[in-house]
Structure 1
Amino acid sequence: MGNFVLVPGAWLGAWAWDAVVEELRAAGHDAHPLTLSGLAERRATGSWAGQQTHVHDIVDAVERLDLHDVVLVGHSYAGVPVGQAAELVSDRLARVVFVDADVPVDGEPFVSGWPGGAEVVASVEANDGFWPPLAAADYAGQGLDEEQIARIVAGSTPHPGATLTEPAALARSLGELPAVYVKCLLDGPEPPPAAAELLKNDSWTLRTLDTGHWPMFSRPQELARLLAEVGEEQREREG
C-alpha cells in the first residue's frame, strides 16, 4: 500500500484533505495530510513563513514520520514547495503528483507565473503581509455545491505573503522527477506553461479530472482513486 503525503494549496490546512484521506485509508493506504506554517491551526506560529519554510515543512514531515516510497501530492500553490521538497527527499520518493498545481521554476517566485501577479502582491501589501482568502462568489463554476463552498470559506485563513514572492530554488530539472500532473478541466483545459513544458519529459504523465480546481471537495472519491492508481502504477514499474 502507498504512503501519501498530501499538501493543500493557498489558504487551506490539512483539514482540506479529510474526505480524500478517508477514502485512501479505507483502501488500506497510509495518508498523511499536512498543514503548512502560517495556515489553519499553525497560523499563529508561522506568520513569518516564507516559501522555503514550506519546503522544509514538507521535508520535515517525511523525515519525522520516517516515510519511504512516498507519493508526494501538492495542490495549487503547494506544487511550488512540493516540487522543491521532492528533490530533498528523492531517496524516499515514489512519485510526485501535482493536482491542478503551479510548479516551481528556479529563481522565480510563485507570483511570476500568474497574469495577475501584481494584483496579488498589492493585495498582500494592503493586508499586513497576508493574501486574503477568496470569497464564496470566487468559487462559482468549479463544480462545488453551496455546502462545499461554505466549508472552504469557513476553514480558509490568510496565506503568508512571503511564500508567494520568495524565489524557488532547484538544484536540478524537475523533468527528472517521476511525476503526474492532474489537470482539473473546469479550471481550464491546459496545464500552465511551466507544467506543460515539464510534461514533455518521459518521466511525467498527464491525468485529468472533469471537475474544478478544488477536487478534494468536489470529487474526493475520484481524486483518491486516481492517487491510488498512481501509487500502484509506480509499484508496478519498480516491480
Structure 2
Amino acid sequence: MVNFVLVAGAWLGAWVWDDLVPALRQGGHGVHPLTPSGLADKRDAPVGPQTHVRDIVDEIERLDLRDVVLVGHSYSGIPVGQAAGRIGDRLAHVVFVDANVPAEGESFVSTWWEGAEKLEAVLAENGDFWALPAPADFAGQGLSNERIAEFLAEGTPHPGASLADRAVLVRPLAELPATYVKCLLDGDEPNQDVAKLLSSEHWRLVRMDTGHWPMLSEPDELARILLDVAAR
C-alpha cells in the first residue's frame, strides 16, 4: 500500500481529484487530496513565501504518512517538487501530471512561456490574483461542456503570491524517483527542463492522449497510471 497525496494545480482544489479517489482506494491505497492555501475551500487562508510547500509537508507529517506517492498537476508541480525533497524517506515516488517543475531561485512567473512581464501584468490587473480561464481557453483540451462548466463554477482565482514564489530545492530533482505524465493535446513533447530531467535514470515518461486536465477528461486512465506507479 502507498499513500497518494494529490495536489491540485492553478485555480483548483481537492475536489478536482474526486473521480480518481474510488479507483485508488479500491486498489488498497490511502488517498489524500489536498487543497493549497488560498484556493477553493481554503480561499481565505493567507499565502506567502513557501506556503504551498509547507501545506504539503505539514499535511504529510500531520497524518504521519509513509510510502508517499506525491502527485502534482500543472502549477503544483513546483511546490510538489520542492516538498518531495523535504519529506525524506517518507517519499516513495513523485508524479508530475503535465506539470511545471521547480528550478532553484525561479518561480512560475519567472519561467512563464510568454515572459514574466506578461503574467505580472495580468496579475496586477486582477489585484494580484490570476483570474479563471475563459471558456474559449479550454478549446482542444478534451473537456466536455459539462466539465468546463464545473471547472468555472468550482474554480477560484489563484493567488499571485504563490505564482511569484521562488523555488528552494533541498534535493536535486534528477535524484527523485519520478514519473512525468505528458498530456499530448497540450503539446507533443515535454519542455526542455523536463526533457533534461527525463535523461536521469530515476525518471520515466508516460504519455496520455488527452488535454491538460486529465483528472477531468480521462480520470480512469490517469488512475490506472497512478496504480501502475504504486505497483512498481
TM-score bracket for the superposition, by shorter chain length: over 0.9
1:74–1:51 CA distance, 2 compared to 1 (3 A): farther
- Counterpart in the other structure of 1:197: 196
Equivalent residue runs for 1:58-97 within 5 Å: 58-97=56-95
Q: Which runs of 5+ in 2 are unaligned?
A: none
**Equivalent residue for 1:7?**
7
Could you tell me whether the CA contact under 8 Å between 1:51 and 1:81 is conserved in 2? no
Post-superposition CA distance 1:118-169 (Å, at most 9, x none): 2221111111111111111111100111111111111110111011112101
d(CA) in 1 for partners of 2:13, 2:164:
20
Q: Which runs of 5+ in 1 are unaligned?
A: 234-239
> Residue in 2 aligned with 1:185?
184
1:2–1:228: 8 Å Cα contact kept in structure 2? Answer: no
The answer as to whether partners of 1:103 and 1:195 remain within 8 angstroms in 2 is yes
Runs ≥4 residues deviating over 3 A: none
Q: CA deviation at 1:51?
A: 5.0
CA distance in 1, matches of 2:157, 2:215: 20
Which amino acid counterpart does residue 228 of structure 1 have in structure 2? L
Structure 2 residue identity aligned to 1:162: A
Q: Supply the AA of the counterpart residue of 1:127.
A: N
What secondary structure is seen at the aligned counterpart in 2 of 1:91?
helix
3-state SS of paired residue (1:171): coil
- CA–CA distance in 1 between the matches of 2:191 and 2:155? 24
Letter of the aligned partner of 1:2 in structure 2? V
Counterpart residue number, 1:30: 30
The question of 1:130 aligning with 2:129 is answered: yes
**1:106–1:169 Cα contact (<8 Å) kept:** yes
Counterpart of 1:169 in 2: which secondary structure? Answer: coil
SS state at 2:200 partner:
coil
The aligned runs of 1:1-239 (5 Å cut-off) are 1-46=1-46, 49-116=47-114, 117-233=116-232
- Give the aligned residue type for 1:140: A
- Provide the rounded CA distance (Å) in 2 between the counterparts of 1:73 and 1:64: 18
Report how far residue 194 of structure 1 moved: 1.1
Report the alpha carbon displacement of residue 211 of structure 1 after superposing the two structures with TM: 0.4
Q: Partners of 2:161 and 2:192 in 1: how far apart?
A: 23
Q: Distance in 2 between matches of 1:128 and 1:113?
A: 21
Q: Which residue of 2 aligns with 1:237?
A: none
Residues 50 and 160, structure 1, Cα contact 8 Å, conserved in 2: no
Distance 1:155 1:82 in 2: 22
Measured against aligned partners, the alpha-carbon deviations of 1:202-231 in whole angstroms (never above 9, x if no partner) come to 000001111000000000010001001011
Is the contact between residue 102 and residue 192 of structure 1 (CA under 8 Å) also seen in structure 2? no
- 3-state DSSP of counterpart to 2:19: helix
- Partner of 1:201, secondary structure, is coil
The normalised TM-score by structure 2 is 0.97
Query: What SS does the aligned partner of 1:110 have?
Result: coil
Q: Which amino acid aligns with 1:16?
A: V
TM-score normalized with structure 1 length:
0.94
Identical pairs, percent = 60
Q: Counting helix residues as a fraction of each chain, which structure ranks higher?
A: 1
Instruction: Name 1:236's counterpart in structure 2.
Output: none
Aligned to 1:112, the other structure's residue is in SS state coil
User: How far apart are the structure 1 equivalents of 2:186 and 2:87?
Assistant: 30
Q: Is the 8 A contact 2:86 2:170 kept in 1?
A: no
Secondary structure (helix, strand or coil) at the match of 2:104 reads: coil
Q: CA deviation at 1:175?
A: 0.4
